[in-house]
Amino acid sequence: AQYLRGPDPPMAAQGRNPQNVAGFGLTHLYSSLMVRAVATGTIIARVLGLPLVAWEEAHESGGIYRKDEQTDERIGQAGHNRAYFEAHYPDLVLPESLGESGWWNRPFEEPEQRLARAQRFLRQLLERHDRTDDRVAVVSHAGFYNYLLATLLKMPDREEIWFVLNNAAITRIDFLDENPDGAEHTALVYTNRAGFLPEELVT
């Protein structure tokens, strides 16, 4: 099979179509630091009038890397730095830790590291927004999405299962505390919803 992924590819033309944008009463908007997610999140932020906040933990599986065509080794790359984002996405709220050496700048992220990152992300998400009326959107990636769902569903060994996520599709997850005893529970309301897009934009 042909290997198609580049280190940090730009957003495709379909993603710039204004029919990709909807509201949902969002109060907070996050994006990974990968260019496709930032570009998508920037469009949403402008339409909804929300700040777009970078969240490094939401990056795609593997991080920023290139594949050596001779050895198949995956080699970690630097990723874009603060100057790049300030020049191309000046409204993006960047983490203070992001400097000029690039946001990734480490080896390829191995599979066993990805589930731990998804668990860490979920813990941080709940620390920020649990037991509030916040409506949070995270612009991320299909690989990370799979590890996040595996964390929510307590399926750490889901290697043979793939949760499909089309570009610009939406998954809704509600964190609720409406049980009579006050215990929290999670509702997976829907996954991979892309029916709001015309057929030619579903990719």
pLDDT tens digit sequence for 157-182: 877 899 999 999 999 999 987 665 66
CA of 153: how far to CAs of 3, 121, 144, 150, in Å? 30, 15, 14, 5
Residue 5 falls within a domain, yes or no? no
Residue 4 falls within a domain, yes or no? no
Q: What is the CATH number of the domain that holds 59?
A: 3.40.50.1240
Residue 88 falls within a domain, yes or no? yes
Which pTM does this prediction carry?
A: 0.86
Confidence (pLDDT) at 99 = 95
Residue 3 falls within a domain, yes or no? no
Look up the domain containing 96 and give its range.
13-201
Confidence (pLDDT) at 116 = 96
- The number of distinct structural domains making up the chain is 1
Residue 6 falls within a domain, yes or no? no
pLDDT in tens, 43-62: 999 999 999 999 999 999 99
**In this model, does residue 19 exceed pLDDT 50?**
no
The whole-chain average pLDDT of the chain stands at 90
Confidence (pLDDT) at 185 = 85
Contacts (Cβ under 8 Å, ≥6 apart) of 133:
27
Residue 83 falls within a domain, yes or no? yes
Distance between CA atoms of residues 44 and 196, nearest Å:
15
Query: Are the CB atoms for 174 and 198 separated by under 8 Å?
Result: no
Q: How many CB atoms lie within 10 A of CB 61?
A: 19
**In this model, does residue 196 exceed pLDDT 50?**
yes
pLDDT in tens, 74-115: 999 999 999 999 999 999 999 999 999 999 999 999 999 999
**In this model, does residue 17 exceed pLDDT 60?**
no
Residue 7 falls within a domain, yes or no? no
27-41, 82-96, 134-148, 172-186: lowest mean pLDDT where?
172-186
Match 């569903």 to its residue by tokens: 153
